[in-house]
Amino acid sequence: MSDTLLSDGSVAQGCHPTTEINAMVNGRKVKRTVPNHYRVIDFIREELKLTGNKEGCGAGECGTCSMFVDGKLIKSCLSPVQKINGCSVETIDDMDRDSGMSLLQQAFNKCGASQCGYCIPGMVMAATSTLRQNPVASRDQIKEGLGGNICRCTGYQKIIDAVELARDVQSGAKPHSALDEDSATVSFIGQRTRRLDSPAKVTGAIKYAADMFMPNMLHMQVLRSPHAHARIVHIDFEAARLIPGVECVLTCDDVPGVDNFGVFIEDQPTLARGVVRYVGEAVVAVAAETLDIARAAVAAIHVEYEQLPTLFDPHEAMKDGAVQIHDFAQNNICKHTRIRKGDVDAALAQADFVVEQTYNTQSIEHAYLEPEAGLAYLEADGCVTVQSPSQNITHHRHMLARILGRPINKVRMIMSTVGGGFGGKEDMIYQGMLALAAIKTRRPVRYVFTREESIKASAKRHPFNIRYTMGLQRDGRIVATKMVMVSDGGAYALSTPGVMNKSAILGPGPYAIPNVWVDSIGVYTNNTPSGAFRAFGAFQSEFATECHLDLCAQKLGMDPVALRRINLMRDGATTHTRQQLDRVLAVECLEAAIKAAGWEPGVPYRQGHSQPQRTDFNYEGSRDFYLIGGKTKPSVPLNVAAHHTQGDMS
């Protein structure tokens, strides 16, 4: 770190005074000199390369970086590195070196408590702390102990089950064999086989993109737009380029090929080209020897903008005369999906009841615990390789080859372990910059998003405005459904066309309805782009349908289950897109759910209708999981030995 001081005694740009740290880490003495602004997480991950504990938010909110300092659980993203001087630190990397897994880790493994695995190191640390402090912690006390740790995948249930199991084995209430794996006797299909990646996830051994290091690796940082809609007049990056340690500065001018990407419509450049269309859009990328130098370089770039009129409301954006966000999209309409079946107007005119209501759903962040990260490098044969948690390496390779102007076999995409995706990692929003930087510098380049960067730059769930009109007969039969949905797609298309399709196809719900009208319109605005998100528009449209049916049940004085039972699709039903189905288990699902829940029929909000209160609350009788078999067999006989009966079809 001697090069951080210039001859006049001042510190070079992007360099910091250093500090010496002496500590015990996982039982070993360490002595290192690091920049004095380092946090404990930086020291552990970047200096010691102990990458088991993850950084999820950098703000002490998610708990993934939890580790022990002198036996006390801390959030290492909030602690200055100086705090561990002379202390003993325990990370997930070495919880129980001798046996491979601690009791708690074995219980996590047994219970299937890890999914993407990114939050699990922090969860194991928090659970360890909880049981160390209170070996007989109750389920509620365990929940409190884990209350500072966020998991986006599991819903926490299996994590809490695992902590209870560990507690009971530790206390002797359950035998150690309760941690053993179930063995298959007749078939591996249908078994609760333990996840094969689980030992690596509960011990922090598995590597995500941000955990990867390569020799001679550079660090990328990106300057992003502060404006929602602006013309780029001039970019001045000379000062940044001259900072020692800056290896390359990239703008759209450095893209050699056809510079557009997108899941359905390729409308987004790798780096903003002449115009920025949302706050957070990438404008300039820098690769430098250290993260600090890359940050200093980004701060030294000056971009002159000329602000343009903005659109934030999709209804306004569709009006004639509204500013055009993309030249090709008239009235800023990105996608309009229509479903037309029967004669909705005539059916509504003849219906006994017509119920109208408007529903609004919000913009939603995926909040995968792993922020975006990637590592790009050149191989000996000139192939450029990008490792990132991409949910679509096949399509990304196609687009990247075109952007880079290379043959497709000179572009290689490797999907690194994904720390949660939910659709949010289907968009190629940073892999292009990384590949360009690796080609230009001929060195490996890594880019790790901060949580703030991830939230502002990545896709969101489309917010929907849904105008609903439903016509019903007195007996509860739905005769017509009309849904008019307008959705904010944000500045670029990403998955908007697909989301509009799915919201429309599935929107009217699993019901047999003779007359259906659906409009699903996705609109460009200057908001953060909306994209793919678990259930892809169907979450929004089906939400409206299911709320609306409850409202209709109230109007008709019916039990909401009974209203659904009348209308649900049966075997051989015709869908809203006029597809003929064969087996339909919709009614069976409804009956199974209400049986498990112990549902007591009646009109919603009974006390409001002066009816006796429900007596089905807190029904505990069926809190085991169920398997309910059926009557069909797979069309192609299973190619297994005769004694392998199909154990999963009880």
Partner 1 sequence: MKQRGRGVACGWYGIARTAAMDRAAVWVELDDGGTVKIATGVTEIGEGVLTGLCQIAAQEMGVRPEDIVLGDNDTARVPEAAHAGATRMTYMIGNAVAVGCREAFGRFRVAMGAYWGVSAESVKAFSGQVWVEGSTSKLMSMEHAVHVLKKERGIVIVGSGLFTSAHTALHPETGEATPWQSYVFGAQVAEVEVDDDTGEVQVLGVWAAHDVGRVINPQQVEGQIEGSVIMGLGHALMEEYVQVNGVTTTPGFAKYILPTALDIPHVTSVLLTEPDPKTPLGVKGIGEPAITPTAAAIINAIYDAVGVRMTRLPATPERVMEALIAKRSAVQLATSPIEETIH
Burial environment of residue 645 by CB neighbours within 10 A (0 to 12, 13 to 18, 19 or more): exposed
The single residue listed with the structure tokens 């429900």 is: 614
Name which of 11 and 589 has its Cβ closer to partner 1: 589
Measured from the CB atom, the residue of 252 and 587 that comes closer to partner 1 is: 587
Report the DSSP pairing between strands 445-448 and 218-224.
parallel
Q: The tokens of 569 are what? A: 């699709």
CA–centroid distance for 429 within its chain = 14
Q: How far is the CB of 402 from partner 1 (least distance, A)?
A: 14
**Nearest to 343, CA basis, from 575, 470, 515, 513:** 515
Nearer to partner 1, 328 or 617 (CB): 617
Minimum CB separation of residue 546 from partner 1 in Å reads: 3
Nearest to 468, CA basis, from 349, 360, 313: 360
Do 243 and 293 contact (CB within 8 A), yes or no? Answer: yes
> What number of CA atoms fall less than 13 Å from residue 359's CA on the CB side?
23
Q: How far is CA 335 from the centre of its chain?
A: 24
In whole angstroms, how close is the CB of 69 to partner 1 at the nearest point?
Answer: 22
DSSP 461-528: EPPEEEEEEEEE-TTS-EEEEEEEEEEEEESS-TTHHHHHHHHHHHTT-SB--SEEEEEEEEEE-SSS
Q: Under a CB-based contact definition with an 8 Å cutoff, are residues 127 and 142 in contact?
A: yes
Rounded to the nearest whole angstrom, what is the least distance from the CB of residue 5 to partner 1 in the complex? 35
Distance CA 16, CA 1 (A): 9
Task: Decide if 297 contacts 249 (C-beta within 8 A).
Answer: yes
Q: How far is the CB of 11 from partner 1 (least distance, A)?
A: 29
Q: Which is nearer to partner 1, 328 or 626 (CB)?
A: 626
User: Residue 118: which of 74, 160, 149 has the closest Cα?
Assistant: 149
Cβ 290 to partner 1, closest distance in Å?
24
**Tokens standing for 23?**
């500590």
Name the residue among 287, 285, 286, 281 with its Cα closest to residue 269.
Answer: 281
Q: Least CB distance from residue 461 to partner 1, whole Å?
A: 8
Residue placing its CB nearer to partner 1 in the complex, 245 or 602: 602
Residues facing 515 on adjacent strands: 480
Q: Whole-angstrom Cα distance, residue 64 to residue 201?
A: 13
Comparing CB distances to partner 1, the nearer of 43 and 359 is 359
If the CB atoms of residues 36 and 385 are measured against partner 1, the closer one turns out to be 385
Residue 590 Cβ vs partner 1, minimum distance, rounded to whole Å: 4
Q: How far is the CB of 362 from partner 1 (least distance, A)?
A: 4
Closer CB to partner 1, residue 36 or residue 191? 191
Rank residues 28 and 626 by Cβ distance to partner 1 and give the closer one.
626
Query: Cβ atoms within 10 A of the Cβ of 546, count?
Result: 12
Q: Which is nearer to partner 1, 48 or 569 (CB)?
A: 569
User: What's the closest the beta carbon of residue 4 comes to partner 1, in angstroms?
Assistant: 30
